[in-house]
Structure 1
Amino acid sequence: MPRLLQILCFALSLMTAGLPPGAQTHVPSNRVFNVKDFGASGRKEDNAQGAIQKAIDACAQAGGGMVYVPPGSYTSGTIHLRSHVRLYVESGATIFSSKDKNAFDKEALLYGEGLENLTIEGRGAIDGQAEYERRLNDLDDRYIRDNQLLTEAGGKSLMRSFPKKNSHGKFVFLIRCKDVRIAGLSFVRSPSYAIHPVACERMVIDGVYIRSSLADGVWADGIDPDGCKDLRISNSTIETGDDAIVFYSTNAFGPALPCENITITNCRLSSASSALKFCDGNMNCVRHVTVDNCVITDSNRGLAFMVFDGGYVSDVVISNLTIECRRHDWFWWGDGDPFHFNIKRRSEVHPQSARPDEPPAGSIRNVLIRNVIARGKGSSVINGHPDSWLEGITLENVKLFLSSDPAAPYDKSVHALKIQRAKNFKLKDVEVFWEKPEWSKWESALYVEDVRGLQLDGFSGRQARPGASFPAVVLNRVEEALIRGCVAPAGTEIFLKILGSNTREIRLSGNDFHQSKVPYDVAGEVRRDELHELSNFMPK
């Protein structure tokens, strides 16, 4: 090798030493901006905000490149990100949120608006240093009013968690940004949402770890996209006090936009509220969403579909999940329930929010949930609205287990799965299992009310306790139902109860009722000619 070439190679190796492998390969040395070269000391007690900002600004002015945060501890307030900048936080480096409120001119540690080609990555950490205190509740949250009353009635304390005033900001707050990548980092102890993209496009979040206190971390959500499109979340672990992943469509930062074209894969989620939530704050829509190969553990609620602000949810496929739920403290939304659907107008939850221009009830339609094993402590309630019934909901190949928790301050569960106000609802190969400890007020495996167009195919389940007189399945005011290929397990008293004066067109075909004492019971108000039977295996 010529002597000059050897010298050049040696010089290049020195300039790139200590940088991440990707930077050594892809980033020219004159495009790497080390924050220590701009005055950062790497000591937590020193203020690194100015140095980090200078490095980012210099990188942007040079046309782009990488801002490198080497191992060390860096305390900062709001850092304004720039287009074409790759912020790399090295393994062994931690950026701490400042305890000084004056260090934040935006409600976030990392802030960007109207940017493009932005990367936040590395193997280091972002630490919000969130602190909480417990005091008597002074919030009027009507949605958890029942929890509060039951806790009071049980003689339990109404002390609850609130963030201390020295905890500030979200971690990442991006508005109208395009081509964004967030990868590899750990986001811990956030005082608020960890990652909050608003109206962003073409965004990838991959391999991150997000953790806030499951006991105390109120409002410390994981990832909260609002009106974003073309978003991919993958290979991440999210353990948060509040919702782990929640989709919004609000007008908080401009017109409410669709939250759409979203994929979530290979993630593990835990939350003291909802692990995955289609948020009640939906003014436009959340649509075209797929969720696959995810594990939900230790959550107050598994999958939540909620529309309170007139928007709609549509075209959602959720598959290949395991869900494990339990009741967390009384002030969290949720009830240890694996599945939850709810449509309301905002004023029906909070009467004080009523206004003349309040939109009508929103809608939830075309949702497919399949290949799920779910364990919960509370009833899975799937409710439409009197003015807006659910439409085109399918649960397929679902195993649902219900047990009680004697240590919980209350238990509201009655039926394992309850469905109300829906059109064209399908349950295919759904099984319900009752486990110990038991709850004295349990009744039926499935309760269906006010449904038009029900397909119950391959369902299996019995009443909660052997010998109890409750039916396994109740159809109340159901029209046009096909009950096909269902199995009454051993110990079933009454498999099917049919009631409601407007119940009509109920077809029973190819069901295995032979292990039940009573295959079905038809109430007096139901006309017998509305029941049609074909090839059912009956008890002897």
Structure 2
Amino acid sequence: MKPIKLPGIILSLLLLASCANTPKNVFNVLDYGALGNGTTDDAVAIQTAIDACAKNGGGQVLFPTGYTFLSGPLKLASNIDLHLQVNSKLLANPNESIYQISAFRENEGEGMMWLYGQDIENISITGKGEIDGNGISFMGEELNDSYQLKPITNFDPRPHVLTLINAKKVVIRDITIGNSAYWTIHLIGCYDALIEGISLINNLKVRNGDGIDLDHSRKVRIANCFIESGDDCICLKNRREFQEYGPCEDIVVTNCVMTSRSCAIKIGSENMDSIDNVIFENCIIKASNRGIGIQNRDEGTVSNIIFSNMIVDCLFFSDVWWGKAEPIYVTSYPRAIGNHKDAGWRFPKGATEGRSGEVSNIFFNNIKCTSENGIFVGGDTQDKVNHIYFSDVDINLTKRTSYPGGIYDKRPCNGEGFIHDKTYAFYLDTASDITINDCNVRWSNPKPKQIGGDIKEQNTVRVNKK
């Protein structure tokens, strides 16, 4: 058969059509020298691709299917979509010596940065691929309840997976991210951020292995995520190292499923500003050490927080983890005084001790709890924790582990860190203006040995039970 000859005009049209289907401004990291063999550090090649993308007005930095890209620290830029195709992986280099940029500025005692960006906008991380922090490589010996932390002085080389500082219009969507040696996603002073549809999977034995930390950030939405982490799954805070970025406010979290060895949803404990206007709804917390926790330990305030339509399942874990299976925990206590490696960063400059701010206008509606322990509300003075509302909050108390009950956890705080008492569905200790409306308590078999009753009020005023 003779080859078919097409007129030149038709060939030109076909060529134009082909070019129209080719994505513009796509920067494939393989084209910049990345090998993707999982053993060679591709950081230089990947950084070159990121820089080229930014220099050319932005676009997509592509990690193609079927490759594992080992990499040291990478600096992100504005107008970049870091896109990981299905079955691609970005893996942190396990060499501790290459992590030199602190995640907390002059405070080098709480980890370094791996993927990071500052003063950027229009940044997205997307795709069906995986970002792996290689966390176990940075841990010590595996223990029964956790991994041992390697000894450090004032420098901790463990890398946080993703740190964005003063970033605007952030999108993190669909990816699998985790196996972190420290915090996984840390947004600092960020504005207009969306985290949607991600799977964030950390090893449940890694201490400090937070999922998502929103720090001095505003206008943030977290939706449809699955989060498993040894430490807090989602945490709102205001760290002192970044105080110029102001409050953490206007946050919505919806349709998430979480498991934690510490606290699945935590507000605090670092809070030197205000945390305000926050909604958590339609979430499931499963097999966690603590469910919903407001843990105010600094001078900042917490107000106008709504938790609604949630299922919370808690059980006891060892003292390595803060919490004693409290499904709901609302507290404000001054932070403990001590010589911890970063104690100088916990208190206001020049101070050797601190104070805790007010927690008020907190609403719990339609929460179904199953736990070995009850709800705890408390502060160091009666007016510190006030106007707390429980409506249609059901508690099913049942014993499921061999850890002893009759204990509530106040850590970190001055003085005794635990309250030893009987198990109550509601334990109210030094607070005011508490409303308990249409709440049900059920004691299931096997029952806790230290049964105290449905409610205990201690140094608490204006408790309204309906």
Structure 2 length normalisation: TM-score?
Answer: 0.85
SS in 1 for 2:148: strand
Q: 2:131 aligns with which of 97, 101, 126?
A: 126
Report the counterpart of residue 91 of structure 2 in structure 1: 96
Please name the residue that 1:6 is paired with: 14
Q: In structure 2, what is the equivalent of residue 176 of structure 1?
A: 166
Decide whether aligned partners of structure 1 residues 254 and 367 sit closer, same or farther in structure 2, where only a CA change above 3 A counts.
closer
Within the alignment, does 1:389 sit opposite 2:408 as a pair?
no
Q: Which residue of 1 aligns with 2:397?
A: 402
Instruction: Supply the AA of the counterpart residue of 1:389.
Output: K
Q: How does 1:288-299 map to 2 (within 5 A)?
A: 288-299=277-288
Q: Which amino acid aligns with 1:120?
A: I
Q: 5 Å matches for 1:71-150?
A: 71=65, 72-106=67-101, 107-131=112-136, 132-134=139-141
Return the alpha-carbon distance in structure 1 between the equivalents of residues 52 and 245 of structure 2.
Answer: 35
2:313 matches 1:313: no
1:259-286 CA deviation, whole Å, 9 max, x = no partner?
Answer: 1000000000110000000111111111
1:73-122, Cα deviation, whole Å (9 max, x unpaired): 00001110001111101111000000112333432221001111111111
Give deviations 1:203-261, integer Å, cap 9, x for gaps: 111111111122x1100100011100111111100000000011111221343621100
* Alpha-carbon distance in structure 2 between the residues aligned to 1:452 and 1:328: 32
Q: What's 1:162 paired with?
A: 148
Counterpart in 2 of 1:217? 206
Contact kept in structure 1, 2:294 and 2:330, CA below 8 Å? yes
**For 1:377-417, what per-residue CA distance to the aligned partner results, in whole angstroms no more than 9, with x for missing partners?**
12321112226432211010111111123422665352121
Counterpart of 1:59, as a letter, is C
Report the equivalent of 2:429.
Answer: 420
Question: Which position in structure 2 is the counterpart of 1:47?
Answer: 41
Which secondary structure state, in structure 2, belongs to the residue aligned with residue 224 of structure 1? Answer: strand
- Structure 1 residue 7, shift from structure 2 partner: 2.3
Which amino acid in 2 is paired with 1:51? A
Q: Check conservation: 2:191, 2:220, Cα contact below 8 A.
A: yes
Aligned-pair CA distance for 1:128: 1.3
Contact 1:256/1:283 (CA < 8 Å) preserved in 2? no
**1:401-450 deviation digits (Å, cap 9, x = unpaired):** 11123422665352121112222211110011111112222111111233
Query: Within 1, Cα distance between the matches of 2:405 and 2:390?
Result: 28
Match for residue 197 of structure 1 among 183, 187, 212 = 187
Alignment partner, residue 355 of structure 2: 360
In structure 2, the residue corresponding to 1:10 is in which secondary structure?
helix
- Aligned counterparts of 2:243 and 2:366: Cα–Cα separation in 1: 38
Identity of aligned residues (%): 28
Contact 1:278 1:305 in 2 (8 A): yes
How far off is 1:163 after superposition?
A: 4.2
SS in 2 for 1:53: helix
Please give the alpha-carbon distance, in whole angstroms, between the structure 2 residues aligned to 1:127 and 1:348.
Answer: 36
Deviations 1:109-159 (A, max 9, x none): 2100111111111110011121133479xxxxxxxxxxxxxxxxxxxx9x8
Structure 2, gaps ≥5 residues long: 1-6, 102-111, 408-421
| 2:443 aligned partner | 434
CA distance in 1, matches of 2:405, 2:425: 16
Which has more radius of gyration? 1
Partners of 1:311 and 1:363 within 8 A in 2: yes
Corresponding position of 1:208: 198
Q: Which residue identity lines up with residue 322 of structure 1 in the other structure?
A: I
Report deviation, 1:297.
Answer: 0.3
SS in 2 for 1:253: helix
3-state DSSP of counterpart to 1:114: strand
- The alignment partner of 1:82 has SS state of coil
State the Cα RMSD in Å: 2.3
Contact 1:406 1:437 in 2 (8 A): no
The TM-score with structure 1 as length reference comes to 0.74
Partner residue of 1:345 out of 328, 334, 337: 334
Which deviates the most, 226-235 or 397-406? 397-406
Of structures 1 and 2, the one scoring higher in RCO (CA 8 A, sep 6+) is 2
1:446 to 451, 455, 461: 455
- Alpha carbons 2:405, 2:423 under 8 Å: kept: no
Displaced runs of 4 or more, over 3 A: 132-136, 163-168, 347-360
State whether structure 2 residue 295 is matched by structure 1 residue 286: no
Classify the secondary structure of the residue corresponding to 2:242. Answer: coil
Q: Aligned with 2:380: secondary structure?
A: coil
CA distance in 2, matches of 1:10, 1:443: 75
Please give the alpha-carbon distance, in whole angstroms, between the structure 2 residues aligned to 1:39 and 1:328.
47
Paired residue for 1:491?
none
| Conservation of the 8 A alpha-carbon contact between 2:316 and 2:401 | no
Within 5 Å, give how 1:443-522 maps onto structure 2. 443-457=452-466
Shift of 1:161: 2.5
Q: 2:317 matched to which residue of 1?
A: 328
Residues of 2 paired with 1:411 and 1:270: CA distance? 23
- CA distance in 2 between counterparts of 1:349 and 1:290 reads 34
TM-aligned CA distance change 1:254 to 1:283, over 3 Å: closer
Q: Secondary structure at the match of 1:232?
A: strand
Distance 1:448 1:80 in 2: 52
Measured in 1, the distance between the counterparts of 2:234 and 2:361 equals 20
Contact 2:53 2:61 survives alignment (8 Å): yes
The one of 246, 271, 275 aligned to 2:264: 275
The answer to whether the Cα contact below 8 Å between 2:194 and 2:221 also exists between their aligned partners in 1 is yes
> Given residue 65 of structure 1, which amino acid in structure 2 is its aligned partner?
G
How far apart are the structure 2 equivalents of 1:331 and 1:454? 34
